[in-house]
Amino acid sequence: MGLLQNFRNNINQRNQGSASVAKERLQILVAHDRMGRDQPSYLKHLEREILEVIRKYVPVDEEAISVSYEQEGQQEILELNIILPDHGSRL
C-alpha cells in the first residue's frame, strides 16, 4: 500500500532526525478529492471537530498544534501535527 508506506517512511525519517527530543506525536492528514463540485469546503470544520475528538483522549495545547491547509484544483489537503504533552494520555 503505497500511501501508507510513504507515510510511514516519512515519519520514520522525522523521528530519526529528532531522536534526541523524543516526543509523543499525533499526525493527521485529510485529503478530499471533490471531483469538480462547486460547493463550500467543510475541511476547516472537520479540522476543528477532529481536534475536539482528540481532546477527549489526550490534552492538547493550542500552541502544540500546527495546521497546514492546501488546495490544488479539486483536491484539498489538511494536515495536523500535534505534539502531545508528557504523560498526557487519559486512557
Q: Applying CB under 8 A, does 66 fall inside the site for a second copy?
A: no
Q: Applying CB under 8 A, does 55 fall inside the site for a second copy?
A: no
Q: Applying CB under 8 A, does 71 fall inside the site for a second copy?
A: no
Q: Applying CB under 8 A, does 44 fall inside the site for a second copy?
A: no
Q: Applying CB under 8 A, does 75 fall inside the site for a second copy?
A: yes
Comparing CB distances to a second copy, the nearer of 28 and 64 is 28
Which residue in the set 16, 22, 62, 63 belongs to the binding site for a second copy (CB under 8 A)?
Answer: 22
Q: Are 62 and 5 in contact (CB under 8 A)?
A: no
